[in-house]
Amino acid sequence: MRMLAAILVIAALLGAAPVAAGQSAEFVVLRGGTPIGTHRAEVESVGDETRVHVSIALDVAFGPIPLYKYRHDSQEVWRDGRLTRLDSRTDDDGDILTLSVRSVGGGLRVEGATGVFTAPADTVPTSYWNPALATNRPLLDSQIGRLLDVIRVPLGPGRWRLEGELKLDIAYSPQGQWTGLSFRHKGADFVYVPRGLADNRP
């Protein structure tokens, strides 16, 4: 786990600018040190809106034998720092999940795998690119559409640990750019390495 923390610290220090209009954040996802796919966030400004496209593609295999496939694609629209619309589709190894979020009077109408409900207007989805995720705003699972009970624990400059229903370490640069992520799942360590660092790995 010390290696995971070191990668997050290095990534945070290398962040040079916030995720802003026209700027993409792209990570290579490592499982046990082996690349298994990518997670990319593309952000653009259109009028008074911020539009975000998030795409995740992960494949786990044993030699030539595929063991697991994950695909996630979502579109977000933000205005004045608040989410106004989200549409996502997830293929979790053959299980298809869809989520629709729309701004309504006083909140967000969420329609997903767990049903339909109204979330607080300042809710942040788990697409990770937005540093508001590390604040005390409500957190919405952007795959199944469920509010998560989490505790944010500061680990140092730009680094937080989320505990509770979502367990991970995440890092942002001083300017607010998402620079790293790590978690443990089913006995394996997963680390998000910025594309530039991953391309330079030996």
Quick check: 132 and 46 in contact, CB under 8 A?
Answer: no
Chain-centre distance of CA 162, in angstroms? 13
Q: Where are the domains of the chain?
A: 2-199
Phi, psi of 17 (to 5 degrees): -155, 155
State the residue for tokens 């009077």: 105
Q: What is the pLDDT of residue 193?
A: 95
Q: What is the pLDDT of residue 160?
A: 96
Question: pLDDT per residue over 50-79, tens digit each?
Answer: 999 999 999 999 889 999 999 999 999 999
Note the pTM of the prediction, 2 decimals: 0.84
Which residue positions in the chain have pLDDT lower than 50? 1-22
Q: What is the pLDDT of residue 104?
A: 96
Question: pLDDT per residue over 145-164, tens digit each?
Answer: 999 999 999 999 999 999 99
